Every structure is written in C-alpha cells, then in structure tokens.
Structure 1
C-alpha cells in the first residue's frame, strides 16, 4: 500500500469516527439531527459554510479553468472572496432569529413558514431536490476521479470507497457530524491547497518567472479575458461569474441552513471574520495552480486533473497523501452537506408535509437516513453510467439554485411586503429562465450568463408578484411583527 493511500485510510477513519461519536447526540431529535441542536459557534459555522460551498470544484473545476483560460478564472475567485461574509452579513443573524421564531428546522420548511403557503414548499422542494442531486452527482464523480488519480485504483472502486465514507458519517451523525467534519476538512483543505501552491511556485521559479513562462505559451492567459480574448468586454458573462459564488450561493439550501444552526444570532459577526480569512488564503490558489500547470504539464490531456497531476509532480509522496486528503476534504465537505439537505427536503418537506401526517421525530430521522442511502445509490449509478464534467455540472446546478432561491431567502428577512405569490413566481421564473438561457443557447447569443439572467428574472418576479397581490395575499401581522424584531 503506498504512502498516499495510507494517509487517506487514516483520514477516512477519522471522519467515520466523528460520525459515530455524534450519533448519540443526534439520533432521535429532529432539531439535533438536522440542525445540530442550534448550538454551533462562529468558527465551526464559518468553516462549515465555506467548505460546503467550495466543493470538489475548487480542486477540479478551478484548476481546469486556470489551465484552459488562465486568469479569466479570477472573475469567479473575486466573486467567491466576499461570498461568505456577504452571506453571513445579509442573511446570517436575521435568518437565525426568524427561523427560530417560526420553529423551522429545514431550509425549505423555513420558506413555507415565512411565506405562509404550502404552495411555496410544493414549488421549492422539487426544484431544490433536482438541482441538489445534480450537485451531489458532481461531488461523487470528483471524489472517485481524484481518488483514482492519486492511488491508481479503478474509477469504479475509488467512487464506491469515497461515497461509502461520506454516506457512513452523514448517515450516523446528521448535521452535527457534517458540521464537525466540515470544520476539520476546511482546515485540511487550506493546508493542502497552500502546500501545493508554494511547491508549484517554487517549481516554476517564482511568481514573476512563472508568469513569464506562461506568457511565452500564450500572453492572453495572463489577462482576465480568456485564452483567445473571447471574454474581452463581455460584461454579461463576467458579471455572471462574479454573481455565481457571491449573490448566488445565498440561494443554496445546503449553505444557508448554516445560519439556522448557529448557537445565537450574534455568531454571524464572528463567523464573518473567520470566513473572510479563510477565503483570502484559499480561493485564489487553485486558479493560480491551474495556470502554472500550463508550464509544468504542457501535455496534460484532461484539464480537470491539473491540480492532482501538479501535486504528484512537485510534492514528495507522503505530502501527496496529505494533499489528496485535502482534495477529498473539499469534495466530502460539500457532498455530506448536499446529501443531508437533499434527504431532509425529501423526508421532511415532501413525505412529512404531504404524505405522512403527524410524523414522529424518530420516523423523520429514520426516513432522512433512508433517503441518504437512496440518494447515494442513485448518484453512484449515474456516475458509473456516464460521468459528466464536474465543472459544467457544478456551474449548472448552482446557477439553478442561486437563480431560484436567492431572492426568496433575501426578501424573507429584509422585505415585509414579500408574499407567497412573489416567492412562488420568483422561484419558477429563476429556474425556468436560467435553464432555458443555458439550454437554448441564449447565453452565447446575448453574451449574458444564465446566472445573471436567472437572478434578474427571479428578482423582478418577486417584486412584481408581491406588489400586485398585496390585497389578495397580504403578509400576516405575525410575520410583520417578527420581521420588525430582526
């Protein structure tokens, strides 16, 4: 067994141990299993939020974008840098207070409680389930691909191992296991990524020399306009890249649930500081490594393997194992959050709300755990059948989530006139427009990113729908009073 594989086995065992440790604290209570009992502090909140939003994209998609388009990828990084603190500042404290007042324990249930209509949940649940499942699928593929690349295992075997570990601790410990493992995994991600970056810059002769060598290959790669300058003044695409990981992920159910799990509303302030520090150190690194890989790996056939292959070429074998643990940390920290949130929506927001009346807490937890297994099985099946590219899948899924839900979550705590009609219209418009924009080719024809088009459509639908129906669907005095206290 090689050194890298030994390190990974130890790391996987640690994650499983955390899941078993948290089992007794989250096995029967719905609030404990789904929100960790609302007792998480600022450091765990921030790093759990950041690691669950970063995903395997940062080790596969970001490196690939750097390798193929150079510094154009930094538009995504710029949006991502302030995404965490923006999310915590806009939603954190207010969403924690309002969700507690309403007694909501899932991100979709919260929307129904705030907008006071079962139709909000009927519309929101399938949109969230579909997009989150695509996102889960991308993480499974990333996990299998990364593990296979470093260990030499067959992709199918690597996929089963990676998913098996994720499912084990998510199944056992619920949100508490997800939060604590994500906290540890964020630290491992940061150490691993910085280690690769430092070794990469040393290998190319430093930042200046590295840039000169990249410029010799294609000077356009050192601009932020793409390898062929195809994005020069293409502000629709650029704005979409900036919005994807800043405004966009205020609509990701698996991320915003972090606000609901905070110990108290004031945790958001401290969490914002931790979030910003983590982002500054972590986010630019994979794009820069991918760009430098152009020099180090000129014959690389699969750009999504850029960071893995760079790590193997610039680091000693024992360090590759640690870095691979960081890669798996990025993947697992998102996959576990996605699995838990998707199973929660299916169990509580679909079965518990519409099919099994008066569901007990034990039943809820049991169904949620069963859904974790079913979702994992479905994801493995699709990943083995025909694995798509991770970057494209992540961008597509997160675009739908951001377009559909960001205005609904933001207006829920900031606009007292936002009502059920506006919320439903917003979710439908954001979903339809973002998907249609991408699939019909309008993104290329109009030079406007699907995220930008989707957010504009959902925001307009929220405002117009709410204002036109204030008399027929007024916001209740209870909600208005609760919002006034935020």
Structure 2
C-alpha cells in the first residue's frame, strides 16, 4: 500500500471518528441534529464556514483558472478574501439573533419566518435544492478526479469511496459532525496548500524567477486582464468576478446556517478574525500554484488537474498523501454541508409544509433519506463526466447569490422588506442569473451573470416591498423581532416566538 493511500485512510478514519463521537449529542432533537444545539464557538464557526465555502473549487477550479488565465484569477481571489468577514459582519450577529427570536432552525425556514408565507418556502426551497445539487455534483467530480489522479484507482471507484465516507459521518453526527470535521478539514487544507505553494516556488527558482519565466512565456499572464488581454476594460465582468465569492457567499444556505448555530450573537465578531486569517493563508496559493504549473507541467489536457499534477512533481510521496488529504478535506467539507442542508430543506421546509405534525425522529430520518438519494443521483451523474468544476461552481454560486443575498441582507437591515418583495426578489434574481448565463451576457454586453442577477434581485425586493406595504405589511411580531435584532443587548424572552409558531400559515398582516 502506497504512503499516499495510508495518509488518506488515516484522514478518513479521523472524520468517521468525529462522527461517532458526536452522534449521541446531535441526534436527540431537530435543533441538535440540524444546528448542533446552537453551541458553536468562534473558531469552529469560522473555519467550518470557510472550509464549506472553499470546496473543491480552490484545488481544481482556482488552479485551473490560474493555469489558463494567469493573474486574472486574482479578481476572484480578492473577492473571496473578504467573503467570510463580510458575511459574518453584515448578517452574522443579526441572523443568529433573529433566527432565535423567530424560532428558526433551517436557513430556508428562517426566510419563511421573516417573510411569512408558505410561498416563501415553495419558491426558495426548489431554487436552493437545484443549486445545492449542482454544487455537490462539482464536489463529487472534484473528489473523484483528485482521488483517481493520486491513487491510480479508476474514477468511478474513487467516486464511490468519497461518497461513502461523506455519507457515513454525515449520517452519524448531523450538523455537529459537519462542523467539527469542517474545523479539522480547514486546518488540513491550510497546511496542504501552504506546503505545496512553498515547494512550487522553490521548484521554479523563487517568485521573481518564476514570474520572469511566465513573462517570457506570455506577458499577459502577469496582468489581471486574461491570457489574451481579453478582459481589459471589461469592468462589468471584473466586478462580477469580485462579487461572486464576496457578496455571493451571503446567499449560500449551507453557509448561512452557520450563523444560526453560534453559541451567542457576539461570536460573529471573533469568527470574522478567524475567517480573515484563514483566507489570507489559503486563498492566494491556489491561483499562484496554478500559474506556476505552466512551468512545471505544461500542456495539460485538463487544467483543473494542475495542482494535483504539480504536487506529484514537487513533493515527496508522504507529502503528496498529506496534500491529497487536504484536497479531500476541501471537497468533503463542502459536500457534507450541502448534503445535510439539502436534506434539511427537503424534509423540514418542503416536507414540513406537506406533512402535518411531523415528529422529530421522522424529520431526521427523512432528511437522511434525502441525503442518500441526492448523493446517489449525484454519484451517477458525476460518473457521466459533467461540465468542469469551475463552471458548475460559478453557475450555482451566481444563481444562489442572486436569488438569496438581498432577501438575507434585508431580513435584518430593512424593516420594510416584506413577503411579496422577498418572493419577487428570489424569482427575479434566479431567473436573471440563469438567463444571463444561458445567453452569455458577458460576451454580449460585457456584463457578468452575477451582476445581472443581483441587479434584478435588488430591484425586485425594493419595488416589490414598497409597492405592497399597505396590502402586505410586515406582521407586528416579526417587526418587533427585527427591531430587537438591531439592538446589541440580551435577547428578551417575551419576544421569542419559538419553533412551534404558526407564522408560516398566516398571510402577512393577518395577525393585526
């Protein structure tokens, strides 16, 4: 057995062990299984969120972008560097407080409690499920390609192994397993990325020598305008690249649930520091390694395998095993969170709207069944070689960000945001982003799909809310909770609506 496989097996054993350790703590209630009992501190909150959002994209998509477009990829990196702290600063503390006041235990259920109507779930749920499925498909494909590249196993066998491990510890421990393994995975990811970056820079003779060699190959690679200079002055596309992983991050249901699981609202401040530190150490390396891969492994058929190929050239065998564990960590930390969140949406949000008096045990079992089905369907499609990881992640992120960012932000910052406005915003954002990607507005108008979707979504919530203030006012109990959220003070018990509230069955304003 090769040393690479030994390292990976040790890593798999560690994450399964975490699942077993927390299984008893997390399966006793819905809140325990889905939010870890709202018990997480700053380090676990921050690093779990970052590991979840970084995903296989950083080791495949980012490396591939650096390989094909040079420093243009740094536009994405710059947005990503601030994504975590922006999310925690803008909605972290307030979402933790409001979700507790409204008795929300899921990220889509939170939107329904803030914008009371069964239609909020029926619109948000399918959009989230479709995008999360594409996102998990990207992770499965990334995991299979990486595992196969390093171990020499076939792609299909590698996919089955990766999916099996993810399912085991997600089933065992629910959100706590996802959170604590995410924390472990984030540390492994940073070590692996820094190790391969240092070895890569040494291999090309240092940063200066490496850049000089790239400049001799193609001077455009050292600019931020693309390998052919094609993005020079294309500010609509560049702004979209900056926004997709900065504000787009605030539209991820599987990331935002992390706000709701914090022990206290004040955790968000310290979590922002942890998040920023992680990003600075981790993010730039992927793009730099991808660029220098042009010097180390030129003429790759699949640029997304650049980091894998470089690792096998510049690192000793035992280090390749560690880096492979880091890559699997990135992929699995996202896949488990997405699967858990998808199961939650299907069982708690959509299923709960159809099945009355759903017991806690039944809800957890339904969630696990949905996770299994999604994983199997994703596995089958991944075996069919879907589009590249970068394309899948960008498509899903642009659509989720456009659909949900204004709804999440306005939920805690704008008291006039109401149900018709939120629903209009989600539909307009999703349709705008998908339409823009289908019709390639980047080539047609120089406008990134993320920009098109966000503009449509923002206009939707503003116009929709202001036009319906009289006919659909925000319910008094929701308005009181939002106003309390804006205060930095302990949560008054008399304002807590609770999990069993029936806001979802009320027309907005029906309680007046």
TM-score (norm 2): 0.94
Shift of 1:381: 1.0
The secondary structure found in structure 2 opposite 1:228 is coil
Runs of 4 or more off by more than 6 Å in structure 1? none
- Distance in 1 between the 2:125 and 2:100 partners? 21
The corresponding residue for 2:497 is none
The corresponding residue for 1:74 is 74
The corresponding residue for 2:157 is 157
The corresponding residue for 1:414 is 413
Matches within 5 A, 1:165-180: 165-180=165-180
- Distance in 1 between the 2:385 and 2:81 partners? 33
The corresponding residue for 2:102 is 102
The corresponding residue for 1:215 is 215
Shift of 1:299: 2.4
How far does the alpha carbon of each residue in 1:2-42 deviate from its partner, in whole angstroms, 9 at most, with x for none? 10001001101111111111111111300000000000000
Matches within 5 A, 1:361-440: 361-440=360-439
Contact 1:142 1:331 in 2 (8 A): yes
The corresponding residue for 1:192 is 192
- Distance in 2 between the 1:464 and 1:334 partners? 35
Matches within 5 A, 1:86-485: 86-354=86-354, 356-485=355-484
The corresponding residue for 2:54 is 54
Shift of 1:462: 0.4
RMSD of aligned residue pairs (Cα, Å): 0.7
The corresponding residue for 2:503 is none
- Distance in 1 between the 2:157 and 2:203 partners? 33
For structure 2, the 5+ residue unaligned runs are: 486-512
Aligned length: 485
Cα distance change of structure 1 residues 386 and 295 upon mapping to structure 2, 3 Å threshold = closer
The secondary structure found in structure 2 opposite 1:141 is helix
Matches within 5 A, 1:36-47: 36-47=36-47
Contact 2:243 2:450 in 1 (8 A): yes
Shift of 1:387: 2.6
How far does the alpha carbon of each residue in 1:272-306 deviate from its partner, in whole angstroms, 9 at most, with x for none? 00000111111100000000111111122210000
How far does the alpha carbon of each residue in 1:404-462 deviate from its partner, in whole angstroms, 9 at most, with x for none? 00000000000000000000000000000100111012231011100011001000100
TM-score (norm 1): 0.99
Contact 2:440 2:449 in 1 (8 A): no
The secondary structure found in structure 2 opposite 1:265 is coil
- Distance in 1 between the 2:98 and 2:351 partners? 24
How far does the alpha carbon of each residue in 1:121-177 deviate from its partner, in whole angstroms, 9 at most, with x for none? 110000000010010111000001100000000000000001110111011110000
